[in-house]
Amino acid sequence: MTKLSVNINKIATIRNARGGNNPDVVKIAKDCERFGAEGITVHPRPDERHIRKSDVLALKDVVTTEFNIEGYPDDRFMSILEEVRPIQATLVPDPPGVLTSNAGWNIDANQKFLVDIIRKIQDLGIRTSIFVEPDVESIVQAHEVGADRVELYTEPYASTYILDKTNAIKPFVIAATKARELGIGLNAGHDLDLQNLKHLKENIPWLDEVSIGHALICDALYLGLENTIQLYLRQLQ
């Protein structure tokens, strides 16, 4: 079974645009779980342009499914992990100020850093996942630095799916197969939506988790949050 983790960053973006607490990030997280989501993902960036550290702390004792905190593992991020102890930490190579996560780790260039960070996170009892490009070399290197899982960066798949879904999925199947051979857990995320999610799942049925935020929240504007979550879950069945 592939779990659906709802990224609620966009909810916080809407709230922050106006101030106050509408929409309520904590209530939305609880509702997402009530509507069937099997995880909640947040990305507390240093500039707090969407999810704030205070949100993460408020969610700590509220989220009853898998809580996934993603971000660049600097001192601030590590202190949040130590205080919150989520089930999973997803490490992304985002420098400060980047708009969104748009590339996987260059693991070879950051090997010692990642080995040390992953060990520290695992010592906290937290599962580690590394955001990677869909290629065999990255999967092998993620295994070498000790990651529990990889998260495949799926924007290249999403951007070419409409033109040629057969070729779009090929490198992801190859990378996913290598992850399974090495015994690494497998997540996926970035630009997944109601159009392309089912094809991904059909070709990589052993996916552990997908993290979806932007497209899901956009769909919810038209379809309603509860209905949208159910539609996404249906693509994963």
pLDDT block averages, 10 residues each, the chain of length 237: 97 95 98 98 94 97 97 96 98 71 84 97 98 96 98 97 97 98 97 98 98 97 98 97
Q: Is residue 144 annotated as a catalytic residue, yes or no? A: no
pLDDT value of position 104 = 86
Q: Who contacts 31 (Cβ-Cβ below 8 Å, separation ≥6)?
A: 225, 226
pLDDT value of position 153 = 97
pLDDT value of position 23 = 97
Which residue matches tokens 């190579």? 93
33, 43, 50, 209: the catalytic one is: 43
Q: Is residue 50 annotated as a catalytic residue, yes or no? A: no
Q: Is residue 43 annotated as a catalytic residue, yes or no? A: yes
pLDDT by residue (tens digit) across 13-49?
999 999 899 999 999 999 999 999 999 999 999 999 9
70, 133, 151, 209: the catalytic one is: 70
33, 38, 133, 190: the catalytic one is: 190
pLDDT value of position 96 = 59
27 close to 58: Cβ distance less than 8 angstroms: no
Q: What DSSP string describes 79-91?
A: HHHHHH--SEEEE
